[in-house]
Structure 1
């Protein structure tokens, strides 16, 4: 069975980035048949009033300008929909995710495309996918009260139907870098391919 993997890097750093290194190692471990790579270090645009208006306009009556407004968002959603596995490499910036990753979430969280509203509440449309999030932190511990990154990503992916979410953590790097990197390497080795 052919496996497609969407690899998302978010660190502003290209050299010496722990999250980029970890996510690349995860991709190598999983050895996908098809790889889509999206580097968010060159920030995505923020959503605008025109974008919101276009998303809430039914597709069959959207203007050409509205279609152009949604073109990048459509590409990002198509990448996500095509993937069997999503690997996100992210640092923790100021206890949360980078702004570029939040912009990606804003552009892909689309009613009718990645989730829908039902009589019983919202329902994710991206079911049957797996996500692995590699998070690097300087001082915060993943799962602690100071971690506003892993829980948010787990929740927002689950909201869109991706409920199989694993975290690979290299946390508290400033406290004991060797131990954090060894722990992350063991977590990657333990991942099912």
Structure 2
């Protein structure tokens, strides 16, 4: 059974428009897909969703770069980071909901990206697919479908006839 990893980068949960759009997109894909898929959601703002990547983990990373032995403390930090990568690498497809965050991405998403892109860890295969779902305030595109969110009916850029997840390009 194929799997989708949904990365929720919003701290607002039930009040999040980007999360509402991502759920709508996932439901649309599931309705149109020829088979069911396993869905796993990673809420980046949950406590302990991501391991700390401070001094010890940075030292562990530098030990990899320089070919040095890691201390037991560094090994534990590196293994915690690797578990996040393994979750990412195990998925067949990805959905990212990314809210507007001071004209950039939320810091928790940046931390997640930094954790999964470590030296020596293989990249995602070319068969992997993903799509970002973002929300930009009250911006509306006239030809897009309305979606019901916690704040009422909104316009979105998620196609209601989503039959597949868009490849990462």
Q: TM-score, normalised by structure 2?
A: 0.72
Does 1 or 2 have the higher relative contact order (CA < 8 Å, sep 6+)?
2
Quote the residue 1:47 is aligned against.
Answer: 53
1:104-183 matches, cutoff 5 A: 104-114=112-122, 125-127=123-125, 128-138=127-137, 181-183=154-156
**Cα shift readout 1:10-48 (whole Å, capped 9, x = no counterpart):** 111122211111111222233352222110123645532
How far apart, CA to CA, are the structure 2 residues paired with 1:18 and 1:113? 33
RMSD between aligned residues: 2.8
Give the CA deviation at 1:49: 2.6
Say yes or no: does 1:63 pair with 2:71: yes
- Number of aligned pairs? 146
Say yes or no: does 1:77 pair with 2:94: no
Moved over 6 A (4+): none
Does the CA contact (< 8 Å) of 1:46 and 1:103 recur in 2?
no
Contact persistence 1:45–1:103 (CA under 8 A)? no
Q: Secondary structure at the match of 1:189?
A: coil
Q: 2:105 aligns with which of 94, 97, 100?
A: 97
Partner of 1:87: 95
Answer yes or no: is 1:3 the counterpart of 2:9: no
Q: Which residue of 2 aligns with 1:34?
A: 38
Contact kept in structure 2, 1:54 and 1:67, CA below 8 Å:
yes
Q: Structure 1's 34 and 111: CA in aligned 2 closer, same or farther, altered over 3 A?
A: same
Which 5+ residue runs of structure 2 have no aligned equivalent? 31-35, 141-145, 147-151
Gaps of 5+ in 1: 115-124, 142-169, 171-176
